[in-house]
Amino acid sequence: LIIGNGVAASVGLVTQVLHSEKDAKALRGTVKSGLVLLIKFDAPFSALLFLFAGAVAGLFLPAGTEEWTLAVQVVRCLAVSLLLHGCNRIIIQYLQGARKMLPVHLMTAFHRIVALTVFTVLLGYSFGTAGLFAAIPVSEGAVLLGYIAVVLLKNRGRDFWNSVLMLPDGFGYNDD
């Protein structure tokens, strides 16, 4: 979580400079590098957290109890949500740096209000307490996939990265 948020904040700051310079190639490289760093650092941590959720829960609760079993589920949900949350943060910070505030507000509202609420109710009702915690990674994934789907549908036939980064045609003199 700390690595993902740190990478996202850095992407946002660099984006401000590169966007004002209209350097589309460097903007794409910045976001791609941010995603690679996120995967390199958070994926192994997430995998270890997921695999050793019982040991992590055991640091705080006696193994085999009902609370421990629930804590293992919570730790695994956290492990799954870390990468998805990091990707969402990178996109949001990029969009803020590029001064695309409407998509930032829509993504944040959809995530914090709509997706989280809907999935908490649906999964909580369907799967009980475990569903409540599963709503976190599911809502993170829904936001990420929703953003990509909307942008790609809106920009059919355009370059993937230019679409995801909301770069207009002809943006930047350093564009390939």
> Which tens digit of pLDDT belongs to each residue from 11-57?
888 988 888 888 888 998 999 999 999 999 899 999 999 999 999 99
User: Which stretches within the chain are classed as H helix?
Assistant: 2-20, 24-51, 53-58, 66-97, 101-109, 116-127, 129-154, 160-164
CA–CA separation, 175 and 5 (whole Å): 28
- What was the pLDDT predicted at 6? 86
Residue 24: predicted pLDDT? 85
* 55 or 4: which leads in pLDDT: 55
Return the closest-CA partner of residue 7 out of 37, 28, 27.
37
> Would you state the pLDDT for residue 117?
93
Res 145: pLDDT: 94
Given this model, what pLDDT does residue 1 score?
Answer: 58
d(CA 5, CA 85): 9
Say yes or no to pLDDT of 174 above 60.
no
pLDDT score of 165: 84
Per-residue pLDDT tens over the stretch 87-106: 999 999 999 999 989 989 99
User: What confidence category does residue 71 fall into, taking pLDDT thresholds of 50, 70 and 90?
Assistant: very high
Tell me what pLDDT residue 175 has.
44
Cα–Cα nearest to 15, from 151, 171, 154: 171
Q: What does the pLDDT read at residue 4?
A: 77
pLDDT tens per residue, range 119-146: 999 999 999 988 999 999 999 999 999 9
Residue 172 confidence (pLDDT): 66
- Residue for token digits 């943060």? 89
Q: What is the pLDDT of residue 85?
A: 92
Alpha carbon distance 72, 58 (integer Å): 9
Mean pLDDT, to the nearest integer, of 59-84?
A: 93
125 CB neighbour count, 10 Å cutoff? 10
